[in-house]
Structures are given as C-alpha cells and as structure tokens.
Amino acid sequence: MLVVGWSADGAPFDKAEHTDELPYIVGFEIEVTELDAFYNQRTRRLAQRLKAEAADAPQKKCVGLKRSVAGLYARVRAYNKFGFGEWSDESELMALEPLTPEEQTPLEEIPAAWVDLDLGGLDEYKEALEPAALLANKERLLRSLFDNRNVIKVAFAFYALSGAADVEVDPDVMSMLQFTTFAQSAGLLRSAGLKELKDLDLIFLRAARDPKLSSASGEAMLIDAVESSGVPVGEGWKKVALSPMQKLKAGIADVVTALKGANQLNQTQYVGALLRSAAQMYSSSTTLTLDAKLTRLCIEHIQPHVYDELQLIKDEFSQVQMVTRSMHSVLGRHAANLLQVFKVYAASDTTGDGTWAGAAAAKASAGTMNVRELEDMCEACGLFDESFTTLKLLAIFVKVNIDDDLFEQENDENNSAELVYDEFEEVMARIFDASVYQPVLTGAEDDADADANPDADATTATTNDRHGYKPRLAAVKERLRAEEEMRFEAAFHEWLESAFLPTALAACKTKKRSNVVGKWKAAVAGQLAPS
C-alpha cells in the first residue's frame, strides 16, 4: 500500500452553511499511472473516489499496488454536484522499494511422532533408574528436541530426497547411503568418538529397528514426560483406544513396515540415530547429559552445514532475486500460461506409490505438484541434458519446499512433499538459472562440446524433444550470448516466452489427451472386470 496525500482549495460540503455562491467540495477522484518494473510500460487507472475530509485536514488515500509496479504517478481532482474540477499536476515518480519476503509464523511444537522415539539401550533412559530421575531425563530431552526441531527437520528433508537416485524414492524415509552422506557432509565422522563408517552403519541399523523389538517397554519412550515437560507437541500424541478397523489398519501398516526391512529411517528414527550418534561422538565427556550432547551435535555440526553451507532456508536467490519487482513483473506477464502448465501436471499423478492409500493421497493433492509430477513436466518438455539432471531438479525441489514443515501454512496441502503455485514460480526461476543462465554465463562444457562435435549435438537435440524445446533453447542461448550482460529477469522472460512455454503448452495438450485416454481405458476395464 502507498499513501497519496494532497491539499485542496475550497471547503467540504456542509448543508447548514451551503450557498450556491460559495465554492465547495463534495469529494475527490484519484488517478494513478503505474510504471511496470520490467517492461517500463505505463498504465493509467482510476484509483478511487472518496469524500472530502474536514476543511483543515490534509487529504490522503492508500493506493493498492500490484507486485510488478516499480513506481507510480498520481493526480487528483475535486468534484461537487456541478461536476469535476481540473486535474492537478501529476506528481513526481514515487519509486517503490523491492518486495520483502512474507513473514512466516514458526511451528512452535515438535511432531507428535517424536514422543514415540525409541530410547532402548541408552543408559539415561533405562527403566532401572529411579522414576523421578528417569522422568527428569526425558523432560530435558524433550526440551532439547524442541530447541533443535527446525534444524533436524531441515537436515532430514534435504538428505531424504536430494540424495535419492530418482524421483520414485519415498521422500519420507532415508536410506543408509543417504544417512552416511549426511553424516560425512555434516562432519560427524571428524569427532573423537565417531570415526569409522562401520560405526555409522551400526547406529543406522539400531535406529531403524522396529520399536516393538526393543528390549525396553513403552516407558522407554517420551510420551509419559510430555505434559510435565511443558513442550508443545503436535496433535495426535495422546494414545487413545483404537476401533477394530483402526487396529486392522495399524496391523497392515506394521506388516508393510516389516516387509521393507530395517534399511530405512523415518523422521523419528532419524532423530534416534542423531541421539545415538551424539552419545558416541561425545562419549568421553562425563559432564554432558545426552540431551546436551544432542544440542551440541546440532549446534556444532548440523546447523552450520544446513543453514550456512547449503543455505537451505535462505539464500541470495530467494532473498534477493525472487523479491525484485522486475522479477514479479515477468512472472505476472506469464502467469496465465504458467498456471495452466502447473494445473495440468499437478493433476497428472493419480497413482502415488502404487498402493490404495498412495493413489487416494495423489488424487486428493491434484491442486499441488509433487516431485514426480515436476519431473514428468521436465521430461516431457525436454529440459534434461548434460548440465541439468534429475539430481539437480531434486535439489531445487527440496530447496524451495523445505521450509513448509517449519512454518504455519494457509493451505493444508502445502507441505514439504508438494508445491503450491507460488513455489512453482520459484522452481521455474531456479530451473532456468541452473539449466540455462549459469551455463551460458560460465561457458558450459556441453556448449563447448557441441561446438567441437556438431554430430553429437544433433543427436542430443532429438533426444526427449517431442515438442521442439532444444531448437528454441539454442536460439535463446544465442541471444543471451549476443547480449553478453543480459540481466537475469530479461533472460528469464526470453526463455519463458520463446522456449519453455511454447514447449510446455504443447506438452500439456498431449498430457490432457493421454489423461482422457487413460480414464477411458480404466472405465472400460472396470466394466469388463468380472463381478
């Protein structure tokens, strides 16, 4: 909002004192001319009519602004029952500051599943301890989990997905390889008490065990310390009596988990692995309690890695590039077509992980885009090449989506596994940056190889390019090279208009036809199925 103020000659209309001989003002019309941040176009519009204030009060009006407006000019005129007065002179350009990222409200609670943390075998949580001491230890651990909840969530979300081999990997679990990659990257193996990969393997396997197989009973978990600790916990942590159907579903879930084997960590088991890692890393300390060791691990290793090295929550791209009004002008210009592409591919995954529950979840999230659907779009449009791979796409998806589990969301479907449209806009900007802009700026190897080997380039151009993206991309790259210092917003606009959107809209038509055929085949199969 921008406040426009002015002063006027003449008195506001007053029935008691009014005579036709005296000039009077009933109200004002405000007209603004908006200056587009990127296209430098001017658009004039009537902002509003409003009644005049008291005679000795300055007049003012808050004017709503589009995200693409860099500045505006304003003029005003008075009116009464006889008509309108002359327009004032137009104001000087009122320049607008860059947009600021929206304030987000942190989730002030730990996930309900964390109270089921398996503490079996850890000395500070053994049942043989005096009950008051055991309870105090659990309360301290809950507070440590609460204090470090965000950095733990971020590390798990990033390595559970970005370290995956492909988009079909379950983003809610972490393999041994992914856990090892995390531990090495965060420097856990550089500690005095944890140096060998085999130690990590043992920690992983112990944490991945089904809690029911632990020698400790349910008391080894944290549920009995939640209320006394005062730590906020998400809904569902209180144990309630299950109906027969709920017990059946829970039993089926246990069977599915058992069939997977102890080769994956869910988020709660990952927390357990961190706790066991901390116990071994600082095993020589006789003064630190286990909850303090967990906090030390998070502060000394995980937090610098995910926040500073990887910049997973805030980086220059999200905090600078994505908040310019020029950027939002480009996105606004292409919003209709981008939204069409988003809607088509957001609704394309109807099978999920292949299970009944997965299919139901996929259909319920038809208004958001998961990583499979995003990969499908990139594949259909021919975006993948030597410089832009599926692994890079996964990293972009995680980076844009990773904070959804840290802050309150207006849309219940907006979580770390699904993109809403606003996030899709940033994903597209990052895809362009990774696949086109940076390679051109740095003189990508694939372009150099293409110049040296034109036959190989011709082969590449026809691979996964049903809708002609590669020739359009080559033309865009040539224009970018010719400009030499084309700023990001201009290059992004060029790519959207000349390469990506023509290709994506053509792919959408094909996708819609295949969806219709798929539904028809499913309907026919249902009719022919034996009763």
Residue 249 has pLDDT above 70, yes or no: no
Structure-model confidence comparison of residues 347 and 360, the more confident one: 347
Read off the amino acid at residue 399. K
pTM of the full structure:
0.77
| Residue-level pLDDT at 7 | 67
Residue 434 has pLDDT above 90, yes or no: yes
| For range 405-424, the mean pLDDT | 84
Provide the token pair at 466: 């049903």
Half-sphere exposure of 349 (CA within 13 A, CB side): 27
The residues, any chain, with a CB within 8 Å of residue 181's CB and separated by 6 or more, are 159, 163
CA distance 85 to 78: 5
- Name the residue with tokens 């990774």: 434
pLDDT tens for each residue of 204-231: 999 998 665 544 444 458 989 999 999 9
CA distance 444 to 44: 44
Provide the token pair at 327: 């950027």
Give the confidence band of 527 by pLDDT, cuts at 50, 70, 90.
Answer: low
Among residues of the chain, what percentage have pLDDT more than 90?
44
- Inter-residue contact 469 to 382 (CB < 8 Å): yes
- Inter-residue contact 429 to 422 (CB < 8 Å): no
Q: Which residues pair with 265 in a beta bridge?
A: 174
CA distance 474 to 472: 5
Read off the amino acid at residue 273. A
CA distance 484 to 36: 24
| For range 166-182, the mean pLDDT | 84
CA distance 437 to 418: 26
Listed range (209-218, 399-408, 445-454, 507-516) with the worst mean pLDDT: 445-454
End-to-end CA distance of the chain: 63
CA distance 228 to 137: 12
What domains lie within the chain, and their CATH numbers?
A: 2-95 (2.60.40.10), 112-309 (no CATH), 316-514 (no CATH)
The mean predicted confidence, pLDDT, of the chain is 81
| For range 505-529, the mean pLDDT | 68
Beta strands per DSSP E along 122-229:
174-175
pLDDT tens for each residue of 255-292: 555 555 458 999 999 999 999 999 999 999 889 999 99
What is the per-residue burial (b if ≥16 Cβ within 10 Å, else e) of 308-322?
eebebbeeebbeebb
Provide the token pair at 252: 């089926």
| Residue-level pLDDT at 489 | 95
Tallying the residues shown for the chain, one arrives at 531
- Inter-residue contact 266 to 207 (CB < 8 Å): no
